[in-house]
Amino acid sequence: MNLRRFFAPAKGVGAGAAMRFILIPSLPVGAFRFMRGALRVVLIRHSARIGVESMRKFLFTLHLWSGLILGLPLLLIGVTGTVLLLEPEIRGLTGPAASAGDPRPAGEILAAAKAVAPEGATPAIYMHPAHPGEAATVRFARQGGGFWSVRLDPVTLAVMEDPAGPFLLTMHRLHGNLLVQGREGRQLVGWLGVVMLVLGVTGLVLWWPRPGQWKAALSVKWRAKGIRFHRDLHGAFGFWGLAVFMVVSFSGVYLAFPQTIGDGVGTVLPLGDVKLGGPGVKAGPADGRTPLPVDEAVRIGLEAAGGGHLRSLGLPRKPDDPLRVGVVHDRGNPGAPAMTITLDPYTGGVLERRDPAAYPSGAKLLAWMRPLHEGEGLGLVWRVLVGLSGLLPVLFAITGTSLWWMKRRNRRAAEAKRGAALAAE
């Protein structure tokens, strides 16, 4: 295979154009050119001799420099993900719990939230408390752009203090877009997720032990020092945490590029008629009609879902927007993807009923991406494993950088020693 020709600028619809279309959707042209140039330099350097050793050297180079150059942003994404996993506990430790008792109807909670919202803000999302003692959260779309949220006691309707709110908001922004506004930030984090997948695969290949060395490769010699100790930590923890690390990374890439990843999954697993993106259903024109009361819409949504508990409301922001009712079944897993009932907010007619439990396998897999990424749906053990996987980039950054530095120092010392020996002769 001629790698020079493969990565050369393509004319018409050539290999380069195909690579840009398949692998780098929506990436800015300048960033694509930089990545293509970097790949060209690395691959051409290793294209003289295609074989096991040369491929191993290439994978090592890719693994090493991807980790060294992108270690800090990868570390930030991992740590902030673990912090956000603990968001309920952080709020519980820093703020008051909600009052005991049955929550008030969603309509009353929304009315109380509107009374304290900024002028011109429109309610967009309502999150019903999932457990006793939790707050109800209402998110508003500001008139000039952006969002504003308020947490209310679902029993007394009082605004609840949220001392951890600014800190957690910063964590969300770091994890979601690294403080880069717009689609570019989301895409940046998505591509860093791709880097995590590449590091996971290349790390597994480079770590794979020879026959008879599996026991040593799967454990850490705690009394070892220097290169041996850091290599053991890097390899053993990387292997044992790889499965969860790859699931969390892949699901993060899906959340950044749902249409692209969804189309890819659809080539392997059936998706049915489940919509992965693009325009959704619309309600009929307002024509002077008055929307149904929120509580009536909730009642219709719960009936259409066959019972269950209210999880969320997606509220219409435009006259032809529908109202979406998120429902969790009593008999189901409370962390599983919610059923969504889409209603005409004026007539209460059911426009769409989406039940992930009844999806084809491909669509069901995609519906589970967010719960898996956020440590939900599979119980406490999965939540703990996802939290620990967010700390793996810290371990990898420390041990990987230490290995590179120590080997570099030893190599330079050996070169200096050889130089001194030659000079003495």
Q: Note the pLDDT of residue 276.
A: 56
| 21: containing domain | 3-86+181-264+388-424
Strand arrangement, sheet containing 309-314: 147-152, 136-141, 122-127, 309-314, 323-328, 339-343, 350-354
**3 has a pLDDT exceeding 50:** no
> Same domain, yes or no, for 65 and 199?
yes
Alpha-carbon distance values, 417 to 403, 408, 413 (Å): 21, 14, 6
Q: 23 falls in which pLDDT band (50, 70, 90)?
A: very low
> Same domain, yes or no, for 219 and 76?
yes
Is 418 domain-assigned?
yes
> Same domain, yes or no, for 285 and 255?
no
Give CA–CA dist 141/246, Å, rounded.
34
Contact 278, 43 (CB under 8 A): no
pTM (2 d.p.): 0.81
Closest CA to 301 of 358, 363, 359, 344: 344
Q: Tokens 């929304």 — which residue?
A: 110
> Same domain, yes or no, for 295 and 368?
yes
Alpha-carbon distance values, 343 to 57, 274, 326, 354, 414 (Å): 57, 17, 11, 12, 73
DSSP letter at 356 equals: G
Contact 314, 125 (CB under 8 A): yes
For residue 340, what is the enclosing H or E element? strand 339-343
Is 348 domain-assigned?
yes
> Same domain, yes or no, for 272 and 373?
yes
Tens of pLDDT along 271-329?
Answer: 887 765 545 677 777 677 888 999 999 999 999 999 889 999 999 988 889 999 999 88
Closest CA to 318 of 293, 341, 353, 346: 346
Where do runs of H (alpha helix) occur along 47-118? 52-85, 87-94, 106-116
Averaged pLDDT, 337-357: 91
Is 91 domain-assigned?
no
**What is the number of domains present in the chain?**
2
Tens of pLDDT along 192-208?
Answer: 999 999 999 999 999 99
Q: 27-59 burial, b for 16+ CB within 10 Å, e for fewer?
A: beeeeeeeebeeebeebeebbeeeeeeeeeebb
> Same domain, yes or no, for 272 and 127?
yes
Tokens of 273: 């008629």
> Same domain, yes or no, for 373 and 290?
yes
Name which of 18-22, 258-262, 342-346, 371-375 the model is least confident about: 18-22
> Same domain, yes or no, for 81 and 9?
yes
> Same domain, yes or no, for 149 and 294?
yes
Where do runs of H (alpha helix) occur along 101-148? 106-116
> Same domain, yes or no, for 272 and 248?
no
For a pLDDT cut of 90, what percent of the chain falls above it? 62
> Same domain, yes or no, for 254 and 272?
no
Give CA–CA dist 242/29, Å, rounded.
32
